[in-house]
């Protein structure tokens, strides 16, 4: 009897719950705007510096952003940028030998790191505040007076050559690299890659000239955050980096790439269990306001498992274990990349379904609820780009390097929020060109050959 009463009570509660109006609180998008930052300038050479104290932890971080990159390398010495920044980190300075620097960093738990990208580069340091003067002295001498020690130079060249020999070990990286080469052209700076011959030609004198060409106060922005007094930090940075010359950087002009029209399909025949696929469409350059509706479109179409491609290609049809889409903008061009990982037997079906989804979007078939979710995801995730003061300063400095408007970051969420569904339909119609695209596949060709013939002319490339 007690059991019957309990069951009856549960049924009544369930009926009341389902019939009553649920009081689910509504939520709105975060209204986050990053703090407005005002730069300071070194008097002697007008080098721009962002400085902000952050006493959350007893650490100090400094980053130099340099307007340089792989695209500015001489065509006969492609790879010099990578070698240069490796040597900046490990090749010693006039005052400090490389072995001395390595021991000091390891003993103090400090770091000096370098990064080079296509159109920018950076050098950064990290240390406990009590060790700042020691590490900063090394850091500044590396930047102003790099030694490019010969023994390290020869070792680094060989390491890079070995990396080139193994560059095809990871097919997921291989397919994206080779797809972009064919898309932009193998001789265009956006499509070139390092070769053993180009690395072997590089000399220490070439590295010295690279340093002279790009390390000028007109070409560098500094960010500094951590547990310090801001005026004291400004004086220390000014004292060290006022030595950087204020000459014009030697940055060559890059031509716009000649992207071929039509449907291009390239295959590297490789016996693999999986097939790796990239589909490329022409995108937009930097400083194009279409980036805001395009950002929403990318989130809507390929921003994760909940996106249109994630749901339709992966979840519903099981045609890919990985699928996503993103866009990249550069100074002279841009691209939209759709990436797929699937079994060889599903290659043709997976590609056809992706192209069908792009065609739907091009035709204006955009789900209103999913569109709003994509916007919300972009707006609400924006705050996580600024986890600390260091992140904020680095974001601002990195956009300054590319000459973005001063209020770009502060108006970002507002511009995303102002994107309408019609804006997204328009950009999809403009950029999802189903008559002009490039498909690149790395996989076992015999297992999907017959599936591709109706998609266009196929060209088999030799792996190198």
- Per domain, the residue ranges of the chain are 40-241, 263-398+409-461
Dihedral sign of CA atoms 93, 95, 96, 97 in order: positive
The pLDDT value recorded for residue 25 is: 53
The pLDDT value recorded for residue 11 is: 40
Sorted by sequence, the CB contacts under 8 Å of residue 408 that are 6+ apart come out as: 399
Sorted by sequence, the CB contacts under 8 Å of residue 99 that are 6+ apart come out as: none
Judge contact between 440 and 281, C-beta under 8 A.
no
Tokens of 439: 């498909």
263-398+409-461: CATH superfamily: Metalloenzyme, LuxS/M16 peptidase-like (3.30.830.10)
What is the topology classification, in CATH, of domain 40-241?
Cytochrome Bc1 Complex; Chain A, domain 1 (3.30.830)
The DSSP secondary structure of 331-365, one letter per residue, reads SS-EEEEEEEEE-GGGHHHHHHHHHHHHHHHHTT-
Judge contact between 286 and 362, C-beta under 8 A.
no
Dihedral sign of CA atoms 402, 404, 407, 413 in order: negative
- The CB-based long-range contact list for 321-324 (8 Å cut-off, 24+ gap) reads 321/274, 323/354
Taking the C-alpha atoms of residue 375 and residue 295, their distance in angstroms, rounded to an integer, is 9
193 exposure class (CB count in 10 Å sphere: 0-12, 13-18, 19+): middle
CA–CA–CA angle 424, 427, 432 (5° rounding): 115
On the CB side of 380, CA atoms within 13 Å amount to 10
Q: Is 98 left (phi over 0), alpha (psi -120 to 50) or beta?
A: alpha
Q: Is there a shared CATH topology between the 40-241 domain and the 263-398+409-461 domain?
A: yes
Sorted by sequence, the CB contacts under 8 Å of residue 230 that are 6+ apart come out as: 51, 52, 53
Strand spans (E) along 11-154: 40-41, 48-53, 59-66, 111-116, 121-128
The pLDDT value recorded for residue 10 is: 40
How would you label 304-314 residue by residue, b for 16+ Cβ within 10 Å and e otherwise?
Answer: eeebbbbbbbb
pLDDT by position in tens, the chain (length 464): 444 333 344 443 344 444 444 454 555 787 788 889 999 999 999 999 999 999 999 999 999 999 999 999 999 999 999 999 999 999 999 999 999 999 999 999 999 999 999 999 999 999 999 999 999 999 999 999 999 999 999 999 999 999 999 999 999 999 999 999 999 999 999 999 999 999 999 999 999 999 999 999 999 999 999 999 999 999 999 999 999 999 999 998 999 999 999 999 999 999 999 999 999 999 999 999 999 999 999 999 999 888 999 999 999 999 999 999 999 999 999 999 999 999 999 999 999 999 999 999 999 999 999 999 999 999 999 988 998 999 999 999 999 999 999 999 999 999 999 999 999 999 999 999 999 999 999 999 999 999 988 888 899 999 99
pTM: 0.90
């Amino acid at each position: 009897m007690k059991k019957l009463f309990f069951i009856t009570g549960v049924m009544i509660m369930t009926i009341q719950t389902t019939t009553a109006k649920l009081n689910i609180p509504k939520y709105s998008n975060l209204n986050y705007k990053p703090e407005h930052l005002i730069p300071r300038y070194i008097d002697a050479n007008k080098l721009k510096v962002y400085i902000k104290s952050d006493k959350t932890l007893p650490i100090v971080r400094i980053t130099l952003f340099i307007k340089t990159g792989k695209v500015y390398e001489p065509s006969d010495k492609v790879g010099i940028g990578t070698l240069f920044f490796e040597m900046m980190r490990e090749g010693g300075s006039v005052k400090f030998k490389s072995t001395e620097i390595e021991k000091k960093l390891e003993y103090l738990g400090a770091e000096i790191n370098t990064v080079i990208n296509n159109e920018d580069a950076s050098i950064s340091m990290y240390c406990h505040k009590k060790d700042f003067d020691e590490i900063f002295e090394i850091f500044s001498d590396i930047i102003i007076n790099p030694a490019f020690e010969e023994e390290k130079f020869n070792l680094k060249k060989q390491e890079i050559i070995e990396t080139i020999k193994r560059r095809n070990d990871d097919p997921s990286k291989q397919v994206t690299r080779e797809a972009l080469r064919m898309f932009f052209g193998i001789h265009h700076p956006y499509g070139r890659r390092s070769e053993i011959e180009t690395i072997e030609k590089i000399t220490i004198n070439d590295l010295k000239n690279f340093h002279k060409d790009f390390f000028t106060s007109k070409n560098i922005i500094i960010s500094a955050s951590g547990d310090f007094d801001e005026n004291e930090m400004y004086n220390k940075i000014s004292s060290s980096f006022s030595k950087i010359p204020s000459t014009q950087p030697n940055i060559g002009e890059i031509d716009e790439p000649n992207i071929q029209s039509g449907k291009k399909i390239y295959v590297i025949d490789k016996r693999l269990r999986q097939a790796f696929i990239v589909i490329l469409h022409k995108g937009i350059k930097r400083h194009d306001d279409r980036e805001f509706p395009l950002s929403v479109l990318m989130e809507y179409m390929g921003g994760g498992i909940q996106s249109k491609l994630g749901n339709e290609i992966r979840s519903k049809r099981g045609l890919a274990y990985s699928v996503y889409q993103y866009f990249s903008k550069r100074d002279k061009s841009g691209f939209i990349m759709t990436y797929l990982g699937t079994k060889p037997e599903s290659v043709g079906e997976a590609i056809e379904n992706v192209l069908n989804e792009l065609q739907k979007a091009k035709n204006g078939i955009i789900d209103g609820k999913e569109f709003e979710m994509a916007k919300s995801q972009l707006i609400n995730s924006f705050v996580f780009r600024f986890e600390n003061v260091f992140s904020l300063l680095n974001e601002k400095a990195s956009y300054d390097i590319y000459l973005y408007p001063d209020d770009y970051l502060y108006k970002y969420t507002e511009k995303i929020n102002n994107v309408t569904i019609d804006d997204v339909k328009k950009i999809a119609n403009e950029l999802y060109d189903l008559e002009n695209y490039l498909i690149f596949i790395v996989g076992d060709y015999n297992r999907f050959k017959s599936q591709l013939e109706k998609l266009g002319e196929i060209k088999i490339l030799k792996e190198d």
